[in-house]
């Protein structure tokens, strides 16, 4: 008798919870524009153990003439001040856009940089690669992301 109560109280709720959550997750991921992202903001991320760059808010797809906006999160004490280079290449590898912020000091609190002064619109349809490099003395960190323009 006690064994049956233990199963009803402890085992059956676990089985029902797993079955229900699996059904809900499968239904949510079944729609066309959904993806499972366990680490939000990390989809376009490149970082080193001692610091690096994270690209935040860059979409995977843009419409032609749409504004391309994103933020950069820089971590690592060696990157408090340095030179930030932003380059955008087309699918052939030709440079489309380039910005350089030389001898800049970044927030120590590791807040994302809003990139004031960087503004670009999506060009002709195709695939583009965004490459961001920060150099501080001999230390360098690189992050890149690919997006498409429809």
104 and 134 in a single domain? The answer is yes
31 and 71 in a single domain? The answer is no
Q: Quote the tokens at residue 42.
A: 């990390």
Residue 113, pLDDT above cutoff 80:
no
108 and 129 in a single domain? The answer is yes
Q: Compute the chain's Rg from CA coordinates.
A: 22
99 and 70 in a single domain? The answer is yes
**Residue 12 belongs to what domain range?**
1-36
**pLDDT for 48:** 36
Cα gap 81→78, rounded to integer Å:
8
55 and 125 in a single domain? The answer is yes
Q: Residue 134: give its domain's CATH number.
A: 2.60.40.2550
| Residues sharing a CB contact under 8 Å with residue 84, sequence separation 6 or more, in sequence order | 72, 74, 100, 101, 104, 113, 132, 133, 134
54 and 31 in a single domain? The answer is no
Number of domains the chain contains: 2
**pLDDT for 87:** 92
23 and 77 in a single domain? The answer is no
7 and 63 in a single domain? The answer is no
Cα gap 117→93, rounded to integer Å:
24
Residues 78, 50: contact at Cβ < 8 Å?
yes
91 and 21 in a single domain? The answer is no
**pLDDT for 110:** 54
Instruction: Please indicate, yes or no, whether the overall pTM of this predicted structure exceeds 0.85.
Output: no
Residue 51, pLDDT above cutoff 80:
no
16 and 72 in a single domain? The answer is no
**pLDDT for 24:** 83
Angle at Cα 97 formed by Cα 94 and Cα 101, nearest 5°? 130
Least confident of 7-16, 111-120, 125-134: 111-120
70 and 109 in a single domain? The answer is yes
| Residues sharing a CB contact under 8 Å with residue 57, sequence separation 6 or more, in sequence order | 41, 69, 70, 71
10 and 31 in a single domain? The answer is yes
């Amino acid at each position: 008798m006690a064994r049956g109560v233990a199963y009803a109280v402890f085992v059956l709720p676990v089985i029902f919870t797993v079955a229900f959550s699996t059904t809900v997750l499968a239904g949510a991921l079944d729609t066309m524009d959904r993806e499972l992202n366990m680490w939000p903001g990390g989809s376009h991320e490149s970082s080193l153990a001692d610091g690096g760059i994270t690209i935040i808010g860059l979409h995977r797809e843009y419409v032609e003439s749409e504004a391309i906006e994103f933020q950069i999160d820089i971590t690592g004490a060696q990157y408090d001040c340095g030179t930030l280079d932003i380059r955008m290449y087309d699918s052939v590898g030709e440079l489309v856009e380039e910005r350089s912020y030389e001898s800049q000091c970044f927030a120590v609190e590791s807040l994302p940089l809003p990139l004031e002064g960087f503004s670009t619109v999506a060009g002709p349809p195709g695939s583009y690669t965004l490459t961001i490099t920060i150099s501080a003395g001999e230390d360098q960190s690189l992050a890149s992301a690919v997006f498409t323009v429809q």
